Amino acid sequence: MMINKRLIREMSHSKKYIGYNVVFQWICLLANVAAIFTIGLLLQDLYEGNTVNLLLTTSIIIGAIAVRFICNLFAAKMSYLASAQVKSSLREKIYRKLLRQGSSYNEHVSTSEVVQVSVEGVEQLEIYFGRYLPQLVYSLLAPITLFVILSFISIKAALVLLICVPLIPMSIIAVQKIAKKLLHQYWGIT
């Protein structure tokens, strides 16, 4: 389940919170870049024997840490708000549908199934809207951002890193397939 367009359309009110979540994660990335560049410049100045402005360096690093801390708090809040609205809205829709069908809903679906969907199903959608979708969008935005930033330093290195981004999920899938095959062979023998 990558992106369910119908589900997102149904829960369109949570889009803004997902967007805010991604923005806060992106600001965290930029704060990380600022801190790493500052540390890199400090090390370069030390290596070359240049004078070092330790107060400025420390201020930038502390500022980056503070920005990360605040943005992580806001990202967590946006994740909560997106998932809370989804939970509330879906449970309300399930309840209204049951009310429309009246006591005859048992003819179409069992009570245990209704309870399971309204509890476990909605909880899974909370994770989908609160964590999965924002992380998916961020995982597409972060490599492009890093490519743009690194292209000012070395276009070759930036291209290599951008090309290698799809290798990460492909390697994870390959390891999962190998592990599944090994486990199948192991349990097949025993």
How many Å apart are CA 60 and CA 67, to the nearest integer?
Answer: 10
In this prediction, residues 43-67 reach a mean pLDDT of: 92
Mean pLDDT of 60-80: 95
SS3 content of the chain, % helix, strand, coil (to 5): 90, 0, 10
Checking if the pLDDT of 36 tops 50, the result is yes
Q: Are 105 and 114 in contact (CB under 8 A)?
A: yes
Tokens of 108: 């179409």
Q: Is pLDDT at 12 greater than 80 in this prediction?
A: no
Which residue from 11, 51, 37 is spatially nearest to 146, judged by alpha carbons?
Answer: 37
- Could you tell me the pLDDT band of residue 186, with boundaries at 50, 70 and 90? confident
Over residues 4-21, mean pLDDT:
82
Residue 44 has pLDDT above 90, yes or no: yes
Residue closest to 133 by CA, chosen among 9, 6, 18:
18
Q: What is the pLDDT of residue 143?
A: 92
Buried b (16+ CB within 10 A) or exposed e, 151-188: eeeeeeebeeebeeeeeeeeeeeeeeeeeeeeeeeeee
Q: 122-174, pLDDT tens digit by residue?
A: 777 778 888 888 888 898 899 999 999 999 999 999 999 888 888 887 888 88
Query: What does the pLDDT read at residue 187?
Result: 77
pLDDT of residue 50: 87
Q: Residue 1 pLDDT > 60, yes or no? A: no
What rounded mean pLDDT belongs to the chain?
86
The pTM of the full predicted model, rounded to 2 decimals, is 0.76
- Specify the amino acid at residue 2: M
